[in-house]
Amino acid sequence: MLELAGRISGFLRSLSWPYIAAVVLPIIAGILYGVWDWRSYQAYYGRLDAFGVETQARIISKHTGQAGNVRSRPYYRMQVEFSANNKLRRGFVDVTRRFFKRQDAQDRVPIRYLPEDLQIRELDPGVRGRSVKNSIAIVVILLFIGLANGVMGVGKEEGKYTQAKGG
């Protein structure tokens, strides 16, 4: 048992900085991105849930298109008009494809917005799920890269350790 502990300890001391960086940096990046994205999500949707006001909006127009290059996903957006703070407001709100297809121009739909920041608004709660799925995918990919780098580099690093030990 002591021999195994000694071998593991010697192996860990022999690890090179590039190997450690290749393993640790993607894992740290994944964790930091996850924390940052969760805080951003809470700043937007958490405030909207806690302090948002719901009213009726009228759909003025519907827009769809490709964001970026040909391989990117299409976006679905609606221009709406609603009353906030005793004024008539207009703006664009992103929606899911399903919501986009179910609604027509001139339909009235519920909208939730923050009275102190009218740019924070939501027409379709389904947009939240898409945001969360994308973020989870990014975190999982970064963690996988770090772990894969660790697994793939073990043989190379172990070979260096064995050569340095004279084996």
The residues, ordered by sequence, that sit 6+ positions from 4 with a Cβ below 8 Å of its Cβ are none
Q: Do the Cβ atoms of 76 and 97 come closer than 8 Å?
A: yes
> Please, what is the Cα angle at 98 between 97 and 103, to 5 degrees?
100
Q: How far is Cα 44 from Cα 120, in angstroms, rounded to an integer?
A: 7
54 — pLDDT class (breaks 50, 70, 90): very high
- The correct CATH number of 19-165 out of 2.40.50.660, 3.90.105.10, 3.40.50.300, 3.90.1530.10 is 2.40.50.660
3-state SS assignment for residue 28: helix
For 142, phi and psi rounded to 5 degrees? Answer: -65, -40
The C-alpha atoms of residue 97 and residue 127 are separated, in whole angstroms, by: 10
Burial degree of 123 (CB within 10 A; 0-12, 13-18, 19+): buried
Choice between 66 and 26, residue whose per-residue pLDDT is larger = 26
CA distances for 70 relative to 63, 131, 138, 156, angstroms: 17, 21, 21, 41
Domain ranges of the chain: 19-165
For residue 146, what pLDDT is reported? 86
Contact 75, 64 (CB under 8 A): yes
69-118 pLDDT tens trace = 666 778 899 999 999 888 999 999 999 999 999 999 899 999 999 998 88
Question: Residues 13, 18, 20, CA angle at the centre, nearest 5°?
Answer: 50
Question: How does the average pLDDT of the chain come out, rounded?
Answer: 82
Local confidence band at 164 (pLDDT 50, 70, 90 cut-offs): low
Percent of the chain with pLDDT over 90: 33
| Euclidean distance between CA atoms 133 and 130, whole angstroms | 5
